[in-house]
Amino acid sequence: MCNLLTTYAIDVFEPIAKWASVAVVAALIIAGIIMFFAKKDAFKKFVKIALFGLLVYLLVVGLIGLIMEIGKSFDPSYVQENYMDRHATTVYLFIPIACLFVLFLATVIVSAIMHKKATLETAKKTITIMGIIDLIALVVTGVLIAIFFEKVKEWYPNLNQTVLYVSSALVIIVIVALGFILNKNDQPIDTKCLSLAGVTVAMSFGLSYVKIFEMPQGGSITLFSLLPIMIFSFIYGTKKGVFVCFIYGVLQAIQDPWIIHPAQFLLDYPVAFAAIGLSGAFAQLKVFEKLPQVSFLLGGILSASIRFFSHVLSGVFAFSSTYAGDLNSWLYSLGYNSFVFIDMAIVLAIGVIVFSSKAFMNELKKSI
């Protein structure tokens, strides 16, 4: 029998989550179409209830999946199979990342409560304190992850570590610089912003379990899982979008861990997904004021291209020596990581439809 915290539990859970999620989304769309034509005056209320229900469902899916992934990583047979130090993995990797996630979730919940129950001044002080705690936790987590990889140097004795570190540093600089340069949104980080950040990360993480296709050495094509965090970037700008997507990338490292080097970890997870935060780069341009779907499309192409480049560097300098065989390392990595554009094409197709909706844009303008 399959125990819920064994290596096999997540393999059973993922296909169930995938088809259940497809059924839920399809049912909501069908119900929405019926409601729109049968009782149009109640359609807006239905949409709000449906979105809240979908959020709760995806949050549950994400949390269950996260627990099962951690359970799998703690399983002795999995640890032995992957030549991992179980104690080091637990202390330096999974516990810090799990604590960071819990703190981030707590910040969102506390902020939402303070927004409704406390005065504006008290709410700001509370958010500031929680933000400082989250920042400290992020730094501590980064340090512990670095210590972890220092302890397991034997995993990557033949890698060109200097090139990997330089590559990751350059991509980080590019993303951060673009995040500041392209940001046209100066909305403050308030309870509303934090709440939406938590909601979109939870929705994207839940949707990431709806995998259409999974690559053999990490990476997958999902059912528009990036759309929620891209909408956040569109609303709040690239600076906040990059940070939120960075957090999402850390969570992805727990869900689909193919990690052999600290710089490769950065390139394939937090840095690659941080690039998705650039999706809102063209949201505030007046030339696209009446064509939001075009600005969303261009932002998506930009973010996907930089994410692709980050994965390609990881493939060339970390994985090609093992998996490329006789093929040129650049050709191998370019071909393997092309799944990024297929994944983004699905997101952009759905996103263009969503951003073409007048009702959606009217609601969105209230937030911008």
Domain-wise residue ranges, the chain: 1-82, 89-155, 158-368
pLDDT of residue 3: 45
Low-confidence ranges of the chain (pLDDT < 50): 1-7, 83
CA dihedral 135, 300, 320, 86 (to 10 degrees): 30
Q: Which CATH architecture has domain 158-368?
A: Orthogonal Bundle (1.10)
Instruction: Please give the full DSSP string across 204-240, using - where no structure is assigned.
Output: HHHHTT-EEEE-TTS-EEESSTTHHHHHHHHHH-HHH
pLDDT of residue 187: 74
- Identity (one letter) of the amino acid at 260? I
How would you classify residue 342: left for phi > 0, otherwise alpha for psi between -120 and 50, otherwise beta? alpha
pLDDT of residue 100: 78
pLDDT of residue 6: 45
Per-residue pLDDT tens over the stretch 192-218: 777 788 888 888 888 888 888 888 777
Tokens for 32? 């929405």
CA angle 123–126–129, rounded 5-degree value: 150
pLDDT of residue 151: 64
pLDDT of residue 57: 84
